[in-house]
Amino acid sequence: MNTHTSILIIYTGGTIGMIRDLKSGSLKPFDFGDLYTHFPVLRNFDFHLDFHSLDPLLDSSNMTPPFYVKLAEVIHERYDRYDGFVVLHGSDTMAYTASALSFMLENLSKPVILTGSQLPIGVVRSDGRENFINAIEIAAACDGDCPVVPEVAICFDNMLYRGNRTTKFNAENFSAFLSVNFPPLAEIGVHIKYRRDLILPPATEPLKVHRELDNHIAILKLFPGITPEAVRAILNTNGIRALILETFGAGNAPTFPWFLQMLREAINKGIILVNVTQCKGGTVEMGRYETSAGLQAIGVIGGADITTESAVAKLMYLLGDGYPNQEVTRLLQTSLRGEMTV
């Protein structure tokens, strides 16, 4: 076997890593250390695979910023030894982790491909095998010495998406993820068809890992009939530094005087407010309608077509890096890792 190309597989937990015990009938963690026994087809690949399991393994619902840091450090510590990385992760919060890694891993020049499954890898109809094998092949793909996909991406159900553009939208179908506002980076069929015009170029500077994440943020999803008490409770959360407003349509919100006044007072106290649409697709257009002009007038920041998952990760990254509010405001309206269309 040619070992010139090396891929590190990092298991964090989640459905993909489960296999049924023949004696008890229950699901237990899969032994990825015995990859070639369970996946003999991997011997056909012309590269070397290593495996690393994070401790403790976590259901993706239990992911936290310290876990993102641990994952980023594993990649950083082994960055010079491997040509690409495959992260096995629970699907429920995969889009949040992919978004976080995209900001934390500045100057990335190698693939970091996240994948998982809707059914355990040990189940007969599991989608995990195909997702796993596709992710490995993509992480190893290169043109000469240059990787084809030198960015953080999610590989799921024969599609490859930019990680910070994705949202999980289905809990049952194998096609669990959407990237409505940005086309797939690749489609996987008989051949893998890469959209090279969309894929970010590899960085030329050394990898820089951002380990400080500030999660003193909140999300306020608007709904018809929302009360002043509910809005006040969120805005008065102890220590809150930023709030993501999930608004209607193209960034619209109630024009009630009490609502705008509460937001204005929060901004005056130094809380950063970002306007993100509740819709799966489309963009925030501040001032297009009267119902968003009021938000714009008091200093709410338009999030364009960024996803909520990416907005959460971007705020954690910017606040953690210690930028002053004025700079955070500017950077929130700037595409740093291809996370938004400006």
Does 15 participate in catalysis according to the annotation? yes
Torsional class of 107: left (φ above 0), alpha (ψ -120 to 50), beta (otherwise)? left
Residue type, 284: V
Q: Which residue among the candidates 5, 12, 15, 308 is catalytic per the annotation?
A: 15
> Which tokens is 41 given?
């087809």
Q: How many CA atoms lie within 13 A of 303 on its CB side?
A: 32
List C-alpha distances in Å: 228 to 190, 241, 300. Answer: 55, 20, 18
Q: Are the C-beta atoms of residues 168 and 176 closer than 8 Å to each other? A: yes
Catalytic residues: 15
